[in-house]
């Protein structure tokens, strides 16, 4: 069985080849460190009263960016395991239509992700308690405010997608290219990405879909920009929808009471 024509393997890198030990270092030094820092932030929040705050949300966004994006820079580029060109961020990797294509991909996947996520969540028992932690970060004060909206749009809609694509696609998936066949490396890297979003079973399933598509478009385009834009538009759309709902709900309640 031949590999898909959309995913030709690149020529061998002139840098020292990455080993499985390097891959383990990427996982522990990036995702592992971020999970540890997130746990420490949660402990500090509990000690300060346990109430979600805008400061805690900012801390999570900064930790995400520094731990995941920093792992790509520090463990990859600075160690000369690959270059910015091989990562897919160099200028020739840019195409003017990537943002438009990202919008099409996101909107096209939305019905499938909602359906699969809801089905998996129902099969898992329908418990959505795990979403509370994500909502505490998205809506730190529990109600609409322009400051919280701006911070969340920047943190969850821009910074997190950039750092996560640098890490999950640029660092993890790219390191698997010489070792695994196309569909297997897509499965492995996407599984790591999906399990990192372990709020609920439905979120994991929905994340797996967009992660797999981003891994495939990364190989097809040989550019990290397309998955970055897709991830950014997806997250920004979610933030906008959540805050629109927060803004409209009190108005509807007031109108109903009147």
Q: Is 25 helix (H, G, I), strand (E, B) or coil?
A: helix
- pLDDT tens for 66-119 read 999 999 999 999 999 998 888 988 766 678 898 999 999 999 999 999 999 999
pLDDT band at residue 6, thresholds of 50, 70 and 90?
very low
Q: What is the dihedral of CA 133, 169, 212, 119, to 10 degrees?
A: -10
Pick left, alpha or beta for residue 222 (phi over 0 → left; psi -120 to 50 → alpha; otherwise beta): left
pLDDT of residue 106: 96
pLDDT of residue 252: 61
Mean pLDDT of 121-135: 81
Whether residue 89 contacts residue 222, with contact meaning beta carbons closer than 8 Å, is answered with no
- Supply the pTM of this predicted model: 0.89
Distances (CA, A) of 6 to 9, 105, 123, 215, 247: 10, 16, 34, 12, 43
pLDDT band at residue 5, thresholds of 50, 70 and 90?
very low
pLDDT of residue 30: 96
- pLDDT tens for 31-80 read 999 999 999 998 998 888 777 889 999 999 999 999 999 999 999 999 99
pLDDT band at residue 8, thresholds of 50, 70 and 90?
very low
Whether residue 229 contacts residue 98, with contact meaning beta carbons closer than 8 Å, is answered with yes
Can you tell me which residue has the tokens 């996982």? 27
- pLDDT tens for 196-217 read 998 889 999 999 999 999 999 9
What does pLDDT average to over the chain?
Answer: 88
Q: Does pLDDT of 15 surpass 60?
A: no
Q: Which residue has the higher pLDDT, 220 or 14?
A: 220
Residue 156: HSE in the Cβ half-sphere, 13 Å Cα cutoff: 24
Q: Is the dihedral of CA 17, 196, 8, 85 positive or negative?
A: negative
Structural Rg of the chain based on CA atoms = 19
């Amino acid at each position: 069985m031949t590999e898909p024509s959309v995913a030709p393997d690149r020529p061998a890198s002139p840098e020292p080849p990455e080993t499985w030990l390097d891959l383990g270092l990427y996982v522990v030094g990036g995702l592992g460190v971020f999970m540890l820092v997130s746990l420490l932030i949660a402990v500090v929040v509990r000690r300060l009263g346990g109430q979600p705050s805008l400061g805690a949300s900012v801390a999570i966004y900064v930790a995400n960016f520094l731990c995941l994006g920093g792992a790509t820079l520090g463990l990859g580029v600075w160690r000369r395991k690959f270059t910015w060109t091989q990562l897919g961020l160099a200028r020739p990797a840019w195409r003017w239509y990537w943002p438009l294509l990202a919008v099409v991909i996101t909107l096209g996947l939305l019905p499938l992700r909602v359906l699969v996520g809801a089905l998996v969540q129902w099969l898992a028992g329908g418990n959505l308690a795990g979403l509370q932690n994500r909502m505490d970060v998205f809506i730190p004060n529990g109600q609409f405010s322009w400051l919280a909206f701006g911070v969340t749009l920047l943190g969850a809609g821009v910074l997190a997608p950039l750092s996560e694509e640098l890490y999950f696609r640029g660092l993890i998936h790219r390191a698997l290219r010489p070792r695994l066949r196309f569909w297997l490396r897509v499965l492995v890297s996407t599984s790591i990405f999906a399990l990192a979003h372990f709020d609920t079973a439905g979120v994991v399933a929905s994340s797996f879909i967009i992660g797999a598509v981003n891994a495939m478009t990364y190989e097809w385009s040989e550019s990290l920009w397309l998955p970055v834009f897709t991830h950014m538009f997806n997250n920004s759309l979610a933030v906008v929808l959540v805050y629109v709902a927060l803004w409209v709900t009190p108005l509807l309640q007031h109108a109903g009471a009147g």
